Structure 1
Amino acid sequence: MLGKFQQSYLRIELDAKQQDIYDSLRYSANLKKWLWPQEFDSMSERLSTGVKFNSRLGLIEIEHQVAIAGDNCLRFILSKAIDGYHEWYWGDGWVQSRLEGISVLPLNLAQTYSLLRLRQHLQSHKTKQATSTDSTTN
């Protein structure tokens, strides 16, 4: 694999419950929403240990294999454009991402962007829930 070894560890605070973060990371329909503009090949509805899928951003393709899928953690083994792994841990109000691998891509930049997109997705989801609750009580 060409490239250099890179490590990136990021943790952010979110105005979200653990279950909402779980749903955003483990259910493919939600994952596809906030990881746009990446494109995904066929994925199971819910990510579980052993599931494999590919993502693409233009000509860049990354193969993912779910190594661990828990109630508050998710680990992907990555290959093709990134040779390494990506771990996620979360709880009420926070999410942490750890990305290590060999790649020519700027992994820290991509990881930061994906965390910001996740935060935006969760804020949008919370706003929709609040609007839905308000309209049902009126």
Structure 2
Amino acid sequence: MFGQFQQSQLRIEVDAPANIIGDSLLHSAQLRQWLFPQRFDTGLPERLHSGLTFSSSLGPLTIQHHVQLADSHCLRLLLSQGIDGYHEWYWGEGWVQSRLEGISLLPLNLSQTLNLLRLREFVARSPSS
């Protein structure tokens, strides 16, 4: 893989309970909404689960995701192709944390920051938050 090794950890406060944050990260329909215009494989199950492998793309960039762990407060994805590394999500009442490490030509910290802000905006608009 070409690129530079990068790592980033960010934690933000969100105005939502843990179950709403988790649903936004684990339910494929909700992922598609807040990560738009990123595209995901068709046929994804309703909920991400351990062992699942899928791809997402943004323009010409494709990233392969392998769900290593998916539970009520954690999502760990092993990444390949456009990013070789991993992405961990942890959440609780009113907060979400993202840890991203990998080799990529992309500015990972910038995309991670934008995704966290988009997630915070999405869960704040959720009807149950």
2:103 maps to 1:121: no
What residue ranges of structure 2 are gaps of 5+ in the alignment? Answer: none
- CA deviation after TM superposition for structure 1 residue 73, in Å: 0.2
Report what 2:24 is aligned to.
Answer: 24
> Kindly, what percent of the aligned residue pairs are identical?
59
Match of 2:93 in 1: 92
| Paired position in structure 1 for 2:10 | 10
Report the 3-state secondary structure (helix = DSSP H, G, I; strand = E; otherwise coil) of the residue aligned with 2:72. Answer: coil
Q: How many residues are treated as equivalent by the alignment? A: 128
SS at match of 2:89: strand
Question: What corresponds to 1:50 in structure 2?
Answer: 51
Q: Secondary structure of 2:113's match?
A: helix
Letter in 1 for 2:13: E
Extract structure 1 runs of 4+ deviating beyond 6 A: none
The AA in structure 2 aligned to 1:91 is G
1:102 partner letter: I
| TM-score, L = length of structure 1 | 0.90
Find out whether 1:67 has 2:68 as its counterpart.
yes
Q: Deviations over 1:24-73 (max 9, x none)?
A: 00000001100111000121110000011100000000000000111100
Larger helix proportion of the pair: 1
**Residue identity opposite 2:29 in structure 1:** A
Write the letter of the residue equivalent to 1:60: L
In 2, Cα distance between the equivalents of 1:57 and 1:34? 14
Q: Does the aligned pair in 1 maintain the 2:20–2:128 contact within 8 Å?
A: no
Alpha-carbon RMSD:
1.0
Q: Deviations over 1:83-102 (max 9, x none)?
A: 00000000000000000000
Q: Structure 1: any 5+ residue segments left out of the alignment? A: 131-138
The one-letter code sitting in structure 2 at the alignment partner of 1:14 is V
Q: Which protein is bigger by CA-based radius of gyration?
A: 1
**In 1: Cα distance, 2:54 partner to 2:89 partner:** 17
Higher relative contact order (CA 8 A, sep 6+): 2
